Amino acid sequence: MKDALTILLRVAGAGLILLAGLHLPIGRHLKWREDAARLSPVNASTFHVHTFFICFVLVMMRLPCFSRVRRKERPTPNQR
């Protein structure tokens, strides 16, 4: 059971990195640069910061998936 959970967490982490990395080709395909040029400077800045924030959060969410957190197993009340 523990091995399956570890594998699933690593797959989820890899998916998050893939999704963050796909922002560049998706942005080119959807022509975000041309769309941002037509916006007011404040809206264009908000658009760029929000896109960066989404990529940053996706990368940061990956970290727990690949880290090895060791939990100290505490005995349950029945095991004492």
**Residue pLDDT, tens place only, 27-55:** 889 898 898 899 999 999 998 999 899 98
Contacts of 59 (CB under 8 A, 6+ apart): 16, 17, 20
- Residues 55 and 75: their CA atoms lie apart, in Å, by 40
* pTM attached to this predicted model: 0.66
Comparing 79 with 40, the larger pLDDT belongs to 40
How many CB atoms sit inside 10 A of residue 13's CB?
19
**Residue pLDDT, tens place only, 12-30:** 888 888 988 888 898 889 8
pLDDT of residue 75: 64
pLDDT of residue 38: 93
